[in-house]
Structures are given as C-alpha cells and as structure tokens.
Amino acid sequence: MKTCDTLSQSRPCQPADGPRQAPETSGLSRLTLLVFAVTCGSSVANIYYAQPLLDAIAATFAIHPAAVGLVVTLTQVGYAVGLLFLVPLGDLLDRRKLVIGQTLLSALALAVVAGAPNALTLFGAMIVVGLLAVVLQVLVALSATLARPEERGAAVGLVTGGVVIGILAARFVAGILADVGGWRIVYLVSAGFMLLLGALLMRVLPRTIPVASAERYGSVLKSMPLIFLNEPVLRLRAGLAFLIFASFSTLWTAMVLPLSAALRSARPVYPLCCSASPGWQSHSCRTRSRSLPSVWCCSISRCRRCTSRTKALSLLAGLMPAAASSADTWSSTRPVAPWAPSSRR
C-alpha cells in the first residue's frame, strides 16, 4: 500500500516501507565470466610465451645470448607503459569498445611477431603485445562493475583465477607448440585465439556500459603520482609486487639458455646469470663443451654470486607481506583526528 504527502501532491508517492531502491545490475552470466577469465588468461600468457622460447628466437635472428633477454624485457616495458597510460582509459571511454579494440589489436600484434622478418620488427611487436595485454586489468575492473553486489567477490575471483592460470600455463603451452611447429607457431596460434575471443566479447559484452568518470585524461594521469605519494600502504604493496615479479622473472628468464644448452651437451653447463657482465671472457669455463658458445657458461663462483642475488630478491619478497600486514594493522588502529569546524562564519 502506498502513502502520499498530503501537503505537496507534486512529490511522487513512495511505498510505505521507505524510498524506492535503485535498480540492481543484471549481473554477469557464467558464460560471460568464463569469456572474461579466458581472455585475461590469454592476454597475460602473451607476455610470458617468450620465456621458454628465447633459445629458439636467438638462433632464428642470430641474437647474442646475452641480449636475447630483451625480448622479455621489452614486453614487460610495454606492459608497464600500458598500465600507466591505457588502463586509466577504462574510466573515461566506452569499455566495450576499449576491450574489444585491445583484444583485436593484440591479435594483430601477435601475428606480426609470428611473421617478424628481423630482430628489430620482433622487438617492436613485443612492445605492442605487452602494451595491449593490459586489457586484463580493464576486464577485472569491469567484472566488478557489472556483477551484482552479492556476486562481486566470486566474479572477481574467477576472472583473477584466469590471470593466474594464464601465467602458469604460458610456458607449458609455448613449449608444446614450439616442439610441434617452432616458436612462430606459438604466436600464430595465440593470434587466432585472441581473434576468436574478440568475436566472443562482441557477443557477450553489454551494448551499453556507463562511463565511470567524467574527468579529463590529463587530470587522471596527474592524480596517479599524488595517490602513490599520499598512500603509504599503496607504496608498500607496490614494492612487494616489484620484488615478487623481479624474483619471478629472474628465475624463469635466466633458466632457459642453460637448460637448452644442457640438452645439446652431456657435460654440465653453468647458467647465463653473469654472461653480460664486463670481463666475462677472462673467466675460464672448465666444463664448457666445444660445441657451445662460450657466452653460455661462466665460472662457478660468479654463478653462485648471481644466484645469491636472486635469493636476496626472493627473501625480500617473502618479508614484505609481513611488513604490509603490519602497515595495515597500524593504519586500521591509527587514531583519527576529530573533525573541527571552520572558524569562518
């Protein structure tokens, strides 16, 4: 039963139990969430496909083993640039067009990588691949926006799970495909799959998605360093993420060439952890096989030194969560200054 304000008939009638509630979002279907999760996993996998393929890529383009790590480095540089300059567009533009556009352009960049005629083209295309891989960040935020409040945690968890699976499965999938048809087939298959995902996103994404903010792009970019400087917990967690991924990339990138060399030699080969350091040629490689390039091995003492550095990064990454937890506890128990009214009348 409805009651009306008898003093002002211009006001609309409201239910007796209170004001009308805002209409809830329709939520996300399981198919849409699955497409989001697979797209996120495939996008992040595009960054890590190169790690087990470095040896094959170096052989194709005659890249010095000490320099082939640029393939991974430049991809990560592109990803960092995308985080800074493309992800903020998710609050300012039509996210449907942004997501579909990034996915289709990723397919094009991957096709360029697969057909790269020289190392320069490869490096440039890998930067673009990393730049466009940030579509996963837009999709994670979009899944939280479109999901019902009671389903938001499950939706974000499922999409983020796709990211983790993509990171872990990228090397396994790349290794299998490279054994079948070479390293180029890895990126060719990925390009076709991203094209398919782009078509699926056209079908499952809502036609109208409200723009999250009306701010200007320049204002959003200017606000980012201020947020970083004013939020100590954010700085701490950024440092934690930096150390985790530094140790992660150090392990996987430096592991490929020694393992590839070991497959071609019955003798032990020490890893490429210090081959790019000045004066490496002056160190003897007593265990080197004559069939292997001298740069693929180094002295035991220097490798131990490099391994110690990697362990130090891992140790710092392990200690940072405790610091983050302490900071959270401190920020939650910190007394808040009482509000004081302005002296102006």
The values of phi and psi at residue 2, to 5°, are -105, 150
- For residue 264, the model assigns a pLDDT of 57
Which of the two residues, 269 and 214, has the higher pLDDT score? 214
Q: What is the pTM of this model?
A: 0.71
Which of the two residues, 315 and 222, has the higher pLDDT score? 222
The predicted-structure confidence for 141-154, as pLDDT tens digits, reads as follows 999 999 999 999 99
Pairing of strands 14-15, 2-3: antiparallel
| In the chain, domain spans | 30-215, 231-281+292-332
Which of the two residues, 272 and 108, has the higher pLDDT score? 108
- Nearest residue to 298 (alpha-carbon basis) of 313, 282, 312, 321: 282
Quote the CA–CA distance of 209 and 198 in Å, as a whole number: 17
Token couple for 11: 């006001």
The predicted-structure confidence for 182-236, as pLDDT tens digits, reads as follows 999 999 999 999 999 999 999 999 988 878 777 888 888 998 899 999 999 999 9
In this structure, of 64-68, 178-182, 309-313, the range with the lowest mean pLDDT score is: 309-313
Token couple for 269: 């080969």
Whether residue 272 contacts residue 65, with contact meaning beta carbons closer than 8 Å, is answered with: yes
Count other Cβ atoms within 10 Å, centred on residue 55.
21
In this structure, of 27-31, 66-70, 132-136, 291-295, the range with the lowest mean pLDDT score is: 291-295
- For residue 112, the model assigns a pLDDT of 97
- For residue 4, the model assigns a pLDDT of 46
Architecture of domain 30-215: Up-down Bundle (1.20)
Q: Residues for the chain: how many in total? A: 345
**Percent of the chain with pLDDT strictly greater than 70:** 66
Whether residue 263 contacts residue 225, with contact meaning beta carbons closer than 8 Å, is answered with: no
- 173 pLDDT exceeds 70? yes
162 burial via Cβ count (<10 Å: 0-12, 13-18, 19+): buried
- Nearest residue to 296 (alpha-carbon basis) of 118, 52, 123, 58: 58
- Nearest residue to 174 (alpha-carbon basis) of 183, 166, 165: 183
Highest mean pLDDT out of 14-18, 71-75, 254-258: 71-75
- For residue 26, the model assigns a pLDDT of 58
**Percent of the chain with pLDDT strictly greater than 90:** 46
- 237 pLDDT exceeds 80? yes
Quote the CA–CA distance of 261 and 195 in Å, as a whole number: 35
- For residue 248, the model assigns a pLDDT of 78
pLDDT band, very low/low/confident/very high, at 120 (cuts 50, 70, 90): very high
The predicted-structure confidence for 18-77, as pLDDT tens digits, reads as follows 444 434 455 789 999 999 999 999 999 999 999 889 989 999 999 988 788 899 999 999
Residues 6+ apart with CB under 8 A from 113: 122, 125, 126, 129, 187
Whether residue 297 contacts residue 268, with contact meaning beta carbons closer than 8 Å, is answered with: no
Helices (H), the chain: 30-48, 54-61, 70-85, 95-114, 119-132, 135-146, 152-181, 183-204, 217-230, 232-263, 300-333
Quote the CA–CA distance of 286 and 271 in Å, as a whole number: 13
Token couple for 174: 């790349």
Quote the CA–CA distance of 252 and 244 in Å, as a whole number: 13
For CA atoms 220, 222, 228, 230, the dihedral sign is negative
